């Protein structure tokens, strides 16, 4: 595996490439053209500029997160083919620039949902958190206003103000879309893009819905083992794979994370590994990566990835805000750097343990 860190670009991220380069074991970044809108074509020139900036700092682009999918594709509207053609052109340009991993999601309206961006923990750190009771008590049109004050002046992915300003229109677009229709639209999209993925060896890694259940009545399909296996079988191509995000799948305590990983051998192209702490099944907060700080056994998650021969990029996911850092919630430097070194330590321990076992 390769340890990486997500980076939004020098114009948008409070974390610099120079800082990332100093995190032990981190050799690449997962990045994006953050100022492009869903449906825009990414030009080769802009991709080349992005790669050159990263390379100048002694790192490389290990993958893209995300090339966002236009709502016309998700809803299957009459103009979806135009946006799929644009997506294919972007994939061609990425492939020509030797980039072979794209993380994306197929979530309606909200890319992810949290009810708090700065819940204070006993140690004084602040974290992203979710309570179903808060969601049930709020109008979806008021969600953005309820959390925007805690964004520390940043623009958070999936919660761009211009997108949230159209929240009524977005809900109207999805009013006739249920799980089955969303699956059909995902299948259509994947079938259209697989030829270019085959040509340029591009792995498409779908990100799970977060949280892993319906929010505000919207359909959610990338939520559990059954649905993921269905997605892979309906477009049975090795380039049609997943981003295994322990934090997103882990929002549903019925998901057995190590078992899911082992069932997806060969189709996990990218991994986000983080911990959650549950106060109740519908009230969770994002913990430090350390197993003892949350609900999940991080060793077992990393061991499962090792056991299936996972060799793709991995990154620590949302970190706490610690040591007075002011950054995009979940995407500061300090706690993610701690997470990266912790995950690297687990991987090293697993490797050495397996080697010693083999020698004996």
Is 272 assigned a catalytic role? yes
Is 245 assigned a catalytic role? yes
- Written as six digits, the tokens of 310 are 């996972």
Q: Which of 207, 239, 269, 289 is catalytic?
A: 207
The residues near 268 (Cβ < 8 Å, ≥ 6 apart) are 205, 241, 242, 243, 244, 261, 305, 308, 310, 312
Residue 228, φ and ψ in degrees, nearest 5: -65, -45
CA distance 263 to 268: 10
Q: Which of 13, 111, 210, 317 is catalytic?
A: 317
According to DSSP, the β-strands at 276-280 and 268-273 are unpaired
Question: Longest C-alpha distance within the chain, in Å?
Answer: 64
- Written as six digits, the tokens of 175 are 């009013």
Contact status, residue 170 vs residue 58, Cβ threshold 8 Å: no
Is 239 assigned a catalytic role? no
Is 83 assigned a catalytic role? no
Q: Which of 104, 318, 334, 342 is catalytic?
A: 318
CA distance 224 to 209: 9
Q: Which of 272, 306, 335, 342 is catalytic?
A: 272
Is 100 assigned a catalytic role? no
Instruction: Count other C-beta atoms under 10 Å from residue 221's C-beta.
Output: 24
Q: For residue 294, give the 3-state DSSP assignment.
A: coil
How many residues can be counted in the chain? 360
CA distance 63 to 24: 19
Is 70 assigned a catalytic role? no
Q: Which of 130, 331, 334, 342 is catalytic?
A: 331
Instruction: Count other C-beta atoms under 10 Å from residue 48's C-beta.
Output: 13
CA distance 163 to 174: 15
| Nearest in space to 103 (alpha carbons), one of 297, 283, 296, 245 | 245
Q: Which of 71, 245, 289, 342 is catalytic?
A: 245
**Catalytic site positions:** 207, 245, 272, 317-318, 331
């Amino acid at each position: 595996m390769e340890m990486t860190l997500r980076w939004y670009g020098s114009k948008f991220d409070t974390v610099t490439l120079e800082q990332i380069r100093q995190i032990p074991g981190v050799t690449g970044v997962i990045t994006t053209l953050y100022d492009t809108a869903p449906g825009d074509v990414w030009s080769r020139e802009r991709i080349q500029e992005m790669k050159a900036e990263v390379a100048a700092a002694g790192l490389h682009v290990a993958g893209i997160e995300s090339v966002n999918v236009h709502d016309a594709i998700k809803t299957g509207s009459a103009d979806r083919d135009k946006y799929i053609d644009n997506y294919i052109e972007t994939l061609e340009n990425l492939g020509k620039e030797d980039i072979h991993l794209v993380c994306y999601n197929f979530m309606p309206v909200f890319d992810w949902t949290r009810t708090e961006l700065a819940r204070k923990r006993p140690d004084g750190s602040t974290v992203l958190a979710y309570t179903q009771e808060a969601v049930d008590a709020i109008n979806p049109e008021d969600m953005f206003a309820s959390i925007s004050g805690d964004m520390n002046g940043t623009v958070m992915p999936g919660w761009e103000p211009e997108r949230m300003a159209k929240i009524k229109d977005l809900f109207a677009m999805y009013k006739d879309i249920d799980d089955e229709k969303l699956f059909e639209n995902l299948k259509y999209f994947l079938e259209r893009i697989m030829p270019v993925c085959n040509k340029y060896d591009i792995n498409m890694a779908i990100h799970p819905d977060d949280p892993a259940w319906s929010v505000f009545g919207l359909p959610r399909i990338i939520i559990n083992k059954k649905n993921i296996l269905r997605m892979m079988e309906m477009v049975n191509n090795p380039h049609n794979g997943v981003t295994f995000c322990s934090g997103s799948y882990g929002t549903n305590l019925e998901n057995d994370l190590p078992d899911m990983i082992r069932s997806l051998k060969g189709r996990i192209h990218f991994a986000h590994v983080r911990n959650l702490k549950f106060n109740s099944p519908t009230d969770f907060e994002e913990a430090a990566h350390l197993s003892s700080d949350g609900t999940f056994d991080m060793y077992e998650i990393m061991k499962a990835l090792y056991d299936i021969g996972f060799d793709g990029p991995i990154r620590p996911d949302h970190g706490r805000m610690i040591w007075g850092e002011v950054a995009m919630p979940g995407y500061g430097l300090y706690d993610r750097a701690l997470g990266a070194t912790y995950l690297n330590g687990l991987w090293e321990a697993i490797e050495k343990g397996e080697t010693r076992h083999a020698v004996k």
